[in-house]
């Protein structure tokens, strides 16, 4: 049995550390998206699997709920709405002493009214004189909250906050913006690799040189060109076709370069044998290149899709920020400004935006590394 070298052990440990660093925040985001907003605001996600002690402020019912029994005016109610699973351990009637009374003890207010409360949050507030205020007095409670999870955050985010519509819009942007450059570049990369024509090397040099051009420098010039063409043909520049073409243009160079490196690693003898048998370039591409290039296509699909899915800048420039066109990243940015204090909304929206990239990566991950490294060596 072969012994592992120190270098191999260290590399595996380093890989394990990177995996843990990536998984922990993702798991925390998922758990936070399932937690109640009150618990999320007072405790971290790492406490969600254990019973948590929380301090809360509740207000009792007002005068309209009082009844008269045995010469006492009584108001009965519960500080919890529904079955929350919380168990009260102590309570207080002032903010300075929130744990002053134990369960079963009688707390007396300044107006000589008395209140008792049980562990389930049911209280009895009684007074010898009639209650005259519309609002009841405040109770400060310390309770134990068991682990609890809910899908209410997802219902609110998807159907009330517009994340569901933005999710569909992002799919409508990302899928065509991934498939169009992949189809174009597959033919282009084949031509640069297996076809001889004048200026091929110069064209390849231009493609490599264009990789260093920052995307941000070309956004406004391209949008200006789109506006000019839109005015000429009566088509709006800020539309789905506009953002598809923008993503396609920005992804052509890198996609062509990666595909060309992979196709270059394929055996030349196979192509020559096919030509001897009378196969055209079109036949070679469909019957030989495509079946052998599935790992490369899968890895490039993942890279291009993730870029389009997570993009914010191109979506802001080439799409209007209306419900029918706004994408997920732009919607999350909008929620960050308007609902920045609602962590349950932000964490749920963020996890929704991660679901499709995670699904695609895990579905195609067996091709991913193979496709990336296939062009690094030949033979």
Kindly state whether residues 169 and 314 are assigned to the same domain: yes
Kindly state whether residues 200 and 348 are assigned to the same domain: yes
Residue 17 counted as domain residue: no
- Counting the structural domains of the chain, the total is 3
**Alpha-carbon distance 369 to 157, whole Å?**
35
**Alpha-carbon distance 267 to 153, whole Å?**
54
SS3 category, 376: helix
Residue 63 burial (CB count, 10 A): 14
User: Which residue positions in the chain have pLDDT lower than 50?
Assistant: 1, 375-379
Question: What is the DSSP secondary structure assignment for residue 125, as one 8-state letter?
Answer: E
Examine the fold and report which residue of 92, 125, 146 is the final residue of a domain before the chain moves on: 146
Question: What is the DSSP secondary structure assignment for residue 105, as one 8-state letter?
Answer: P
Residue 370 counted as domain residue: yes
Residue 2 counted as domain residue: no
CA-CA distances (angstroms) from residue 190 to 55, 101, 194, 328, 344?
66, 80, 6, 35, 49
Kindly state whether residues 319 and 356 are assigned to the same domain: yes
Examine the fold and report which residue of 119, 146, 173 is the final residue of a domain before the chain moves on: 146
CB 247 within 8 A of CB 311: yes
Residue 359 burial (CB count, 10 A): 10
Kindly state whether residues 120 and 264 are assigned to the same domain: no
**Secondary element (H or E) of residue 91:** strand 87-92
Kindly state whether residues 227 and 253 are assigned to the same domain: yes
pLDDT for 333 equals 87
Residue 69 counted as domain residue: yes
Examine the fold and report which residue of 130, 146, 162 is the final residue of a domain before the chain moves on: 146
Kindly state whether residues 120 and 163 are assigned to the same domain: no
Residue 5 counted as domain residue: no
Please provide residue 123's backbone torsions phi and psi, each rounded to the nearest 5 degrees: -125, 160
Residue 8 counted as domain residue: no
Question: What is the DSSP secondary structure assignment for residue 237, as one 8-state letter?
Answer: S
pLDDT for 369 equals 61
pLDDT for 1 equals 43
Range of the domain at 44: 22-49
pLDDT for 343 equals 78
Kindly state whether residues 180 and 240 are assigned to the same domain: yes
Residue 348 counted as domain residue: yes
pLDDT for 140 equals 92
Residue 146 burial (CB count, 10 A): 11
pLDDT for 3 equals 55
CB 54 within 8 A of CB 43: yes
CB 375 within 8 A of CB 265: yes
pLDDT in tens, 131-162: 888 889 999 999 888 888 888 888 888 888 88
**Does pTM top 0.85 for this prediction?**
no
**Alpha-carbon distance 172 to 19, whole Å?**
31
pLDDT for 377 equals 45
Residue 9 counted as domain residue: no
**Alpha-carbon distance 237 to 227, whole Å?**
5
Kindly state whether residues 134 and 168 are assigned to the same domain: no
């Amino acid at each position: 049995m072969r012994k592992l070298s120190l270098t191999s052990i260290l590399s595996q440990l380093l890989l394990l550390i990177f995996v843990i660093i990536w998984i922990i925040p993702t798991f925390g985001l998922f758990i936070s998206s399932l937690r109640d907003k009150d618990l999320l605001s007072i405790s971290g996600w790492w406490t969600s699997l254990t019973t948590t002690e929380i301090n809360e402020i509740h207000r009792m019912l007002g005068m309209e709920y009082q009844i008269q029994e045995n010469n006492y005016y009584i108001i009965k109610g519960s500080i919890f709405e529904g079955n929350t699973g919380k168990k009260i351990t102590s309570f207080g009637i002032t903010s300075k002493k929130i744990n002053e009374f134990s369960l079963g003890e009688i707390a007396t207010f300044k107006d000589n009214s008395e209140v008792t409360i049980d562990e389930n949050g049911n209280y009895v507030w009684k007074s010898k004189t009639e209650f005259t205020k519309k609002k009841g007095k405040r109770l400060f409670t310390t309770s134990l909250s068991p682990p609890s999870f809910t899908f209410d955050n997802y219902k609110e985010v998807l159907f009330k906050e517009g994340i569901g519509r933005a999710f569909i819009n992002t799919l409508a942007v990302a899928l065509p913006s991934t498939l169009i450059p992949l189809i174009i570049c597959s033919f282009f990369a084949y031509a640069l690799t297996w076809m001889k024509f004048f200026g091929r090397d110069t064209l390849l040099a231009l493609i490599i040189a264009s990789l260093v051009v920052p995307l941000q420098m070309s956004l406004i010039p391209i949008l200006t060109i789109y506006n000019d063409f839109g005015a000429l043909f009566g088509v709006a520049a800020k539309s789905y076709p506009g953002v598809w073409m923008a993503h396609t243009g920005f992804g052509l160079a890198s996609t062509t370069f990666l595909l060309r490196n992979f196709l270059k690693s394929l055996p030349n003898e196979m192509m020559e044998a096919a030509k001897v048998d009378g196969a055209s370039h079109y036949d070679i591409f469909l019957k030989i290149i495509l079946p052998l290039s599935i790992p490369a296509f899968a890895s490039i699909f993942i890279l291009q899709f993730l870029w389009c899915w997570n993009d914010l800048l191109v979506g802001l420039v080439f799409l209007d920020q209306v419900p029918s066109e706004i994408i997920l990243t732009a919607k999350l940015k909008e929620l960050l400004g308007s609902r920045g204090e609602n962590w349950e909304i932000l964490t749920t929206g963020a996890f929704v935006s991660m679901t499709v990239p995670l699904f695609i990566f895990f579905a195609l991950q067996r091709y991913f590394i193979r496709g990336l490294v296939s062009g690094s060596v030949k033979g």
